[in-house]
Structure formats: structure tokens, C-alpha cells
Amino acid sequence: MKFAFPDIVCKEGETLLVTGSSGVGKTTLLHLLGGLLRPESGEITIDKTVVNSFSERKLDHFRGKNIGLVLQQSYFIEAFTVLENVALASWLATGKQRTEKAKQLLEHLDLANHLHKLPSQLSIGQQQRVSIARALINEPKLLLADEPTSSLDDENAFKVADLLEQLAQEFKTALVIVTHDSRLKQRFSNQISLS
């Protein structure tokens, strides 16, 4: 199956909502932007760097330092605490375990009392916030969120949307949210719909 995507621009501190029904390529687009897939044609430029020409190794290194991913499923290391899971993301990308930075992010996301818990001891909403902290630990240029509100009730869905937008502005990160959650259509004015 082939997809053709329009040109997409999202500047630092901005949020772009990408909507569309199931099967139109939203997750494929997110994987292309995150360097998890390579396009057959066209360019993916992040912070003036064309990333689709990189070798796998160089792309992994670039992704770790410049792209934060908040996926539908959190994929934590279950034997590690919340703090260790977030700090591990910094170690994998930079070789340095930024435990203090991880603590600050988790505190900022109202998770100070959960640092030493296992991910399985958290609610879905708390796990979502841990995923956001992990995605932000390396201060990425681009934050990609795949269906970040799909498993949340209305109140928590809007809290997560507000939080993502606030953090994107605070960290000067371009935020792309890919979703079919119609609740978010009224929340963000900068959006495109794939069909």
C-alpha cells in the first residue's frame, strides 16, 4: 500500500494535529517523521537537517537526541522504576544518565510521589505522563504523539492535550499529534486531515 502525504510544517513551540480515519496513514506518517520508516520519495527535514539520507546508525543517534516519541503503548522496562525508565532514555541517547533531569521532569508532571514505583503500579494516565517525561528528557526538537488521548476520559484527555502543548512551548519543541480522537479537533486550530 502506498501513501502520499502533503507538505507538513511545524515550527518550534507549535502544535500540529494530524487527523483522519483508520487506515489513511496517520501512524505511517508518524513513523516516517520519527525515522522509524523511510520514504520512497520526498524529504524529511528536522531542524534544517535532512534525515532520510542518514545511515541507520546515524539516524538512531539523531533520533535519540532530537526526536521524542509518545506512543499508544508505553513500552516500559517493567523491572525498572519510573525514574529509571525515564533516565534510561537519556543514557541510551547520550551515554549520560540524567537522573536529576528525570526527577525534575517527573515532578513537573505531578509524579514526584511515584519515582520509585514500577510502571505497572501506575494508572494509565500516570503511565502516559511518564511516557511524556521520557520523550522530553533529551529536549528534542520534535515531539511526536501517537493517539495520546485515545484511552483517556474527557477530563484527562484535555489535561494531556493541554500538558503536551504547554511542554512544547516551554521546551521550544515542535509537537505533532496524530489522532482519530475527535475531541482534539476542537482543541487545536493548527491541523490537517488525511483522507
Q: Answer for the pair 155, 125: CB distance below 8 angstroms, yes or no.
A: no
Strand-pairing partners, residue 42, are none
| 102-147 tens-digit pLDDT | 999 999 888 999 999 999 999 988 998 899 999 999 989 999 999 8
Per-residue pLDDT reduced to its tens digit, 6-45: 888 999 999 999 998 888 889 899 999 998 888 888 899 9
The residue that leads in pLDDT, 106 or 151, is 106
- Report yes or no on 160 lying in a domain: yes
Q: Domain span at residue 22?
A: 15-193
Torsion, Cα 57 101 74 121, to 10 degrees, reads 150
Is residue 58 domain-resident? yes
For residue 4, is it within any domain?
no
- Domains in the chain: how many in total? 1
The CATH code of the domain that includes 48 is 3.40.50.300
